[in-house]
Amino acid sequence: MAIAKKAIVWGLFAAGGTVTAFVVPALITLFLLVATGNVPDGLQFDQFHAFASSWLGKACLFIVLFLSVWHAAHRLRVVAHDFGIRKDALIASAVYTVAAIGTVLAAFYLLTIG
């Protein structure tokens, strides 16, 4: 008997849940502003490009994206179970693979910028 590896993904889920609860409403609001045509100055190319080029900006964006994607992955695994899908091993590999791809893509694009 030992502590299951679920401890790792649960830790990411919990951290991600906290981060998303705090920042996602503000982020959706920014996207909403963009959609209404009132693009915030910070999302204009020059400013946002400069932000994503700075190491602090890269770090902030990466932490939020990394934790969010693992939070969503783990929760979707639970959702699948709750809707009666019992192939947990398959679901787990699928959602965590997508989360890993998301993590790599986020890191890749952030490192490319600037």
Partner 1 sequence: MSTRIRDMELEIMRYDPEKDEAPWFQSYTVPCNEDWVILDAINYVKDNLDTTLAFRWSCHMMVCGSCGMMVNGEPSLTCKTFVRDLPDKVRIEPLENFPIERDLVVVLDDVMQKLHQVQPYIMRKDDPPAEDVEYNQTRGQLMKFKQLTMCINCMCCYAACPQYALNKDFIGPAALTLAHRYNLDNRDQGKSDRLNILADHDGVWDCSFVGACSEVCPKHVDPAAAIQQMKVDGAVEFWKQKMGIVGDKS
Partner 2 sequence: MSRRPYIRPVSKTTWYMRNKRYKVYVLRELSSFLVAFYTFFTICALAILATDSAEKWDSFLASQQNTGMVVFHAVALLYFLFFQTFPWFKLAPKAMPVQVGENKLPDSFIIIGHYVAWVIVSAFIFWLAGVI
Task: Note the residues at the interface with partner 1 (CB under 8 A).
Answer: 1-8, 10-11, 14, 78, 81-82
Nearer to partner 1, 2 or 26 (CB): 2
* DSSP sequence for the chain: ----THHHHHHHHHHHHHHHHHHHHHHHHHHHHHHTT---GGGSHHHHHHHHHSHHHHHHHHHHHHHHHHHHHHHHHHHHHHTT---HHHHHHHHHHHHHHHHHHHHHHHHH--
- Residue 10 contact, options partner 1, partner 2, none, Cβ 5-8 Å cut-off depending on partner type: partner 1
By CB under 8 A, residue 39 contacts partner 2: yes
By CB under 8 A, residue 21 contacts partner 2: yes
By CB under 8 A, residue 65 contacts partner 2: yes
CB of 29 to partner 1, least distance (A): 27
